Amino acid sequence: RSRTCFCCLSGSISSNAGFINIFRHFFLMLLTLGLDSSFGGSEAIITALSDEFPLLKRHREYFVGILFTVYMFIGIAICTKGGILIMEWLIVYGTSWGLLIAVFCETIVISFIYGHCT
């Protein structure tokens, strides 16, 4: 989707010289949107694990550094020749039946608890 945005805008920039400032603002908007999404997901993981394990809360800086180092190594692995295979594994095994079964079990448990209480 972002590829389409940049392809359309690059064609517009080449035809209009004054459009470069709008493109700069658009690029900054996409950059901040991506960074915000990335930090939001990471903060959810950091908060959940810090609440579960108090040792991680005391050494938050080290924990965040280790987490982002793991992110970096995963990113490097995806950039290699076998990266498309890793992405395929994440797509097939990370979001298919496992997620569906987890959501189904969660729905059953929540409906049982609320049905039991009323």
* Residue numbers belonging to the annotated binding site for Na(+): 33, 36-37
Distance CA(14)–CA(21), nearest Å, equals: 13
Considering all CA atoms of the chain, what is the largest pairwise distance in Å, rounded to the nearest integer?
67
Question: Residue positions in the annotated binding site?
Answer: 33, 36-37
The CA angle 110-93-42, to the nearest 5 degrees, is 70
Per 3-state DSSP, what percentage of the chain is helix, strand, and coil (rounded to 5)?
Answer: 90, 0, 10
Distance CA(88)–CA(69), nearest Å, equals: 22
